[in-house]
Chain A
Amino acid sequence: MFVELNSILNTSPDDVTQREFILLSDRKADASFLIHHYLSFYLKAGCKVCFVGLVQSLSHYSAVAQRLGVNLVQAREKGQLVFVEALKASAAVMLDQTGGDVAQMSDYLRSPVPELRALFEFVRASLSQAEAEADSNSPPVLIVDDLSVLLSLGVSVRAVLDFTHYCQATICSQLQGSVVTLVRCDDDDDDDEDESSSHLLRALSHQCTLSLRVEGLRTGYCRDIHDQVEIWWRGTGENVQSQRKIFQYKVYDKSVSFFAPGTSSAVL
């Protein structure tokens, strides 16, 4: 959890905004630090978190979380965290060795026309359960790292969008929780390609309430300023005004510092 980002977003673990659909994205940069931020943020806030780790192993996430002051293993034992080890399961599923829960959930790996329905059912089951037992102050949260991997596995953009729609409808609207997803773009923005991650990003931009978009610096590579992030509060209907702000940032060992463009300590 990065305190500086919290103050920019005007939020804190004691005051969690409900029903948020947060879209993290990057292009020519790496936005995974934001995933770690939200994972530790919601765990510190006491929310029940379902984390779908499609990219890294559990030990990676827990090593980083430890630096940010959160113990994933403990959270998992307490039942606060449901960690879907999708990456680890992939080999077993692919080579036909496990039956049961995991295999069914990961059926997108094997089906010729993959759908994410089983994954959604799992997420819903794990978070609805939480709703029944936990107190109402801690909304359930789904974090997916990251959706664009699914496209590489042959899942269509349409299927991913169906999945996110159901997640939003169930978690944000019904359970008053939040959804955080990451989309990593590896193609050109102006691509008129239906199956590109840019297309997925555009579609999710319509859905989201808050978008954090990480981009490489236009001026090229720099050692002291890693990249820039555009924060976009999308005025969704009710009260928030649409507003965009750009910050530059630098990632440190345990934190990230954000500053207005051109005001890096290396420059001033």
Chain B
Amino acid sequence: MLSEVLQGTESGGFVIIRDTACYSGRRLLKYYMNCALKRGEAVHVLGFEVPEHELCAGLDSNYLHLFHFHSAYTDPLGWTKQSLFTVKHFSAKEITLLLQETQHANDSVLVIDSLSWVVRHHDTVTVCQELQKLRKAGGSVRMIFGLLHMDLHQQGIVGTVSHVASTVISVTPMNNARYAMAKTSQRKKSGKVMQKEEFFSLPEDLTLSIETKPNQSGNVQTDLYTKSEVDPTSNLTFNLHLSEVEREAREKVALPFVFSEEKKSALLRPGRGSGRIMYEPDANDDIDDEDPDDDLDV
């Protein structure tokens, strides 16, 4: 599922990759950038958090002419007056202008690294509105990718921003250093929602491999949930299964205290003429609610 995120042709997709300090989602972001480049799409990066060379490293060098880095790294707030693009310019209008300066004929993908930076400096509601405007503007921007550091914002903010997105991928580390887990939930335009948890590994050359279990290779794309439904009786050293013959034989065995129908009905029929005890309380009865032997639960 991770590998299919980019493949749709419908425009207006908005993917948020959520990570924490323990495991950075930036490499997954780079993987998608690389995929988009290979498809011949232009990639525009609004880079706040890492410098250009760091984000470029590992990308396919044949397609770097399609890669456009709008640096807000060295001077995101305009303190040193070095860069044209600062965080203050984060609006649908400005970004569209920025993309048009270097517009190619084909589709383009917008990458925001990271949304956390933007959210820190803008009102969350405004950010959501501008992002939505960018999606709806159509034309130039086919997809938007954003990195969001989950542990830096209050839950409400993470939820609000994620709500705007069509796909949310949360990455968390595993005990095994090579693998990480991605929890993807994708909302199609039709309203269909797909959710999946996958283990993946993503080395520096940006080749994604998805695994069912971190230590077993092969068998791609098995749903995690099936794992829990494995038959627990399969690998036992003794036999828990019954063959058909065995089962029939077992059913024939007469169990103790299982009575025949006749005997049951005879027992259930109220007997006539048998003795009964009639008791009516009397004033002289010696009612003793003490417990002389200390063994009753009175």
Q: How far is the CA of A91 from the CA of B142 in the complex (A)?
A: 56
Q: Nearest Cβ in chain A — how far from B285, in angstroms?
A: 67
Segment at the B interface, from A49-57, A71-79, A158-166: A158-166
Tell yes or no: A101 within 8 A of B by CB.
Answer: no
Which residues in chain A, 161-189, are within 8 Å of chain B measured between CB atoms? 161-162, 165-166, 169-170, 173-174
Q: How far is the CA of A192 from the CA of B157 in the complex (A)?
A: 12
Cross-interface CB contact of A238 among B49, B57, B77, cutoff 8 Å: B57
Tell yes or no: A226 within 8 A of B by CB.
Answer: no
A243 and B177 in contact (CB under 8 A), knowing A120-B79, A205-B21, A206-B149?
yes
How many B residues touch the partner, as a band?
20 to 34
| Chain A residues touching B, majority SS | helix
Asked whether B26 lies within 8 Å of A237 as measured between CB atoms, the reply is yes
Q: How far is the CA of A257 from the CA of B75 in the complex (A)?
A: 41
Q: Nearest Cβ in chain A — how far from B82, in angstroms?
A: 9
How many A residues touch the partner, as a band?
20 to 34
Asked whether A173 lies within 8 Å of B74 as measured between CB atoms, the reply is yes
A192 and B76 in contact (CB under 8 A), knowing A173-B51, A237-B26, A237-B54?
no
Q: Nearest Cβ in chain A — how far from B131, in angstroms?
A: 20
Cross-interface CB contact of B152 among A120, A121, A165, A203, cutoff 8 Å: A203
Contact with B along A245-265 (1 / 0, CB 8 A): 000000000000000000000
Q: Nearest Cβ in chain B — how far from A246, in angstroms?
A: 15
Tell yes or no: B154 within 8 A of A by CB.
Answer: yes
Asked whether B57 lies within 8 Å of A202 as measured between CB atoms, the reply is no
A206 and B152 in contact (CB under 8 A), knowing A165-B76, A173-B74, A174-B74?
yes
Asked whether B79 lies within 8 Å of A117 as measured between CB atoms, the reply is yes
Q: Nearest Cβ in chain A — how far from B77, in angstroms?
A: 6
Tell yes or no: B50 within 8 A of A by CB.
Answer: yes
Q: Nearest Cβ in chain A — how far from B159, in angstroms?
A: 13
Tell yes or no: B73 within 8 A of A by CB.
Answer: yes
A239: chain B residues at CB < 8 Å are 204
Asked whether B26 lies within 8 Å of A170 as measured between CB atoms, the reply is no
CB nearest to B19 among chain A residues: A206
A158 and B121 in contact (CB under 8 A), knowing A169-B75, A194-B154, A237-B54?
yes
Tell yes or no: A44 within 8 A of B by CB.
Answer: no
A162 and B77 in contact (CB under 8 A), knowing A237-B50, A242-B177?
yes
Asked whether A169 lies within 8 Å of B177 as measured between CB atoms, the reply is no
Give the residue among A206, A207, A241 with the most B Cβ atoms within 10 A.
Answer: A206
Q: Which 5 A-B pairs have the closest CB atoms?
A: A205-B21, A169-B74, A173-B51, A202-B151, A237-B54
Q: What residues make up the interface of B, taking CB atoms closer than 8 Å to A?
A: 21, 23-24, 26-27, 49-51, 54, 57-58, 73-77, 79-80, 116, 120-121, 149, 151-152, 154-155, 177, 204
A-B contact pairs, 28 of them (CB 8 A): A117-B79, A120-B79, A165-B76, A166-B77, A166-B80, A169-B74, A170-B74, A173-B51, A174-B74, A194-B154, A202-B21, A202-B151, A202-B152, A203-B149, A205-B21, A206-B21, A206-B116, A206-B152, A236-B24, A237-B26, A237-B27, A237-B57, A237-B58, A238-B57, A238-B204, A241-B177, A242-B177, A243-B177
Q: What residues make up the interface of A, taking CB atoms closer than 8 Å to B?
A: 117, 120-121, 124, 158, 161-162, 165-166, 169-170, 173-174, 192, 194, 199, 202-203, 205-207, 234, 236-239, 241-243
